[in-house]
A = this chain, B = another copy of it.
Amino acid sequence: MADFLDSEFEARFTSAQTAMAASGMDAILLCTEAEIRYFSGFRTQFWQSPTRPWFLVLPRSGAPIAVIPEIGAELMARTWVCDIRTWAAPNPTDDGVSLLADVLSPYSKVGLPMGEEASLRMPLRDFYRVQEKSGVEFLDCSNLIKAIRMIKSDAEIALLRKICKIGSDAFDNAADIFHAGLPLSEAFRAFKIELLQQGADDVPYLVGAAGQGGYGDVISPPNDMPLQDGDVLMLDTGASLQGYFCDFDRNFAIGHATDTTKQAYGRLWQATEIGLQTAYAGARCADLFNAMHAELGGGPSDVGRYGHGLGIQLTEYPSIAVFDETVLQPGMVMTLEPSMTISEGKMMVHEENILITDNEPVLLTKRAAPELPIIS
């Protein structure tokens, strides 16, 4: 039933305890889906409901403490977490505030992710109340958490490998699914069904676009326009398996493609190739960015980023960006995602998912074709 053995969670927790000791924190407070799942194994889509806050406290010594709404008690009891304290939520006058403050009050300095990529998934008003009632000092522990989550275990890598294979197998059937005349919205729907049939649990992320020789943005839901001869169709999917994501895209030409389009595709494919040749342990994310950016002709590097970490979230730390000094380490799972502008309002993007190792990087996705596939 559990996604991992208890020993996996014990190892994650031990890493957090070691880091807490090194940084002078007495405990860590987590309130977000990914972090609570990472340390407890509590996996549910019930996070879709914004009504109830959920908390996990990781003490520097002792066992983790779940402070959660009663409705989650049975599911939490199936995880490795034994100390579960519940309240009848929602409670408009005290929605876990007193219970959480009591759990925190023995501590002095409590870590809370407050930096890049962090959110506070509880009412800010209640956070202030917990702060006041518990008397603890909150310190940012974003980097501590990121450093642990960034390095994937063998069990995590096995899941990521599976979901990347599922995504690759689904894209292999593209020619049977997509065709001129198919409304883009129906192409999306058909591809979601294909991903489920290939074994994905869910498709929390499917964005993309289709346009003559390229597309305008890469985060949109589909419109109902039929695919047309000369379109480049791009689908970028974050399908999930036991809560682990793939995140990669594929481009297809419908009917035919111009030489300009084919060349743009080829350059992006080649930039990814350079990425693969650079993504060795010891290189910095900035090195990886610079290598791909040079291959794409250089120029101003405010293009954003060319990839990111991948795991229990569609995008995780670090960023493959000019500013990111993070050193690649074995066990990191990353996306390589170079993009380029073809003309005003037209762009193209490629993406692969890789594992950093002691040796050369391992592709988790089936490498995209070196030439733009044409669906006729």
Q: Closest residue to A121 on the B side, CB-wise?
A: B119
Verify A48–B204 contact, CB threshold 8 A: yes
Q: How far is the CA of A22 from the CA of B282 in the complex (A)?
A: 59
From B49, B90, B122, B140, A314 is in contact (CB under 8 Å) with B49
With A116-B95, A193-B196 as contacts: A45 and B125 at CB distance below 8 Å? no
With A207-B44, A238-B48 as contacts: A201 and B216 at CB distance below 8 Å? no
Asked whether any CB of chain B lies closer than 8 Å to the CB of A88, the reply is yes
Closest beta carbon of chain B to A235's beta carbon, Å: 12
Chain B residues with CB under 8 Å of A188's CB are: 201
Q: Tell me how many residues of A have a C-beta within 8 Å of chain B.
A: 72
For window 125-162 of A, CB contacts with B under 8 Å fall at 125, 127, 140, 142
Asked whether any CB of chain B lies closer than 8 Å to the CB of A369, the reply is no
Q: Closest residue to A200 on the B side, CB-wise?
A: B189
With A72-B219, A119-B119, A119-B122 as contacts: A49 and B90 at CB distance below 8 Å? no
Verify B124–A304 contact, CB threshold 8 A: no
Q: How far is the CA of A308 from the CA of B49 in the complex (A)?
A: 10
From B92, B203, B206, A323 is in contact (CB under 8 Å) with B92
Q: How far is the CA of A227 from the CA of B96 in the complex (A)?
A: 37
Verify B75–A219 contact, CB threshold 8 A: yes
Q: How far is the CA of A276 from the CA of B122 in the complex (A)?
A: 33
Q: How far is the CA of A188 from the CA of B196 in the complex (A)?
A: 10
Asked whether any CB of chain B lies closer than 8 Å to the CB of A28, the reply is no
Q: How far is the CA of A49 from the CA of B337 in the complex (A)?
A: 15
Verify A119–B50 contact, CB threshold 8 A: yes
Verify B304–A204 contact, CB threshold 8 A: no
What 1/0 mask marks residues of chain A from 190 to 226 whose CB sits below 8 Å from any chain B CB? 0011001100011111110000000011111101000
A-B contacts, 23 listed (Cβ < 8 Å): A43-B221, A44-B219, A45-B204, A45-B207, A45-B219, A45-B221, A48-B205, A51-B308, A71-B218, A71-B219, A71-B304, A72-B219, A74-B217, A74-B345, A75-B217, A90-B116, A90-B319, A90-B321, A112-B124, A119-B122, A124-B127, A201-B221, A204-B204
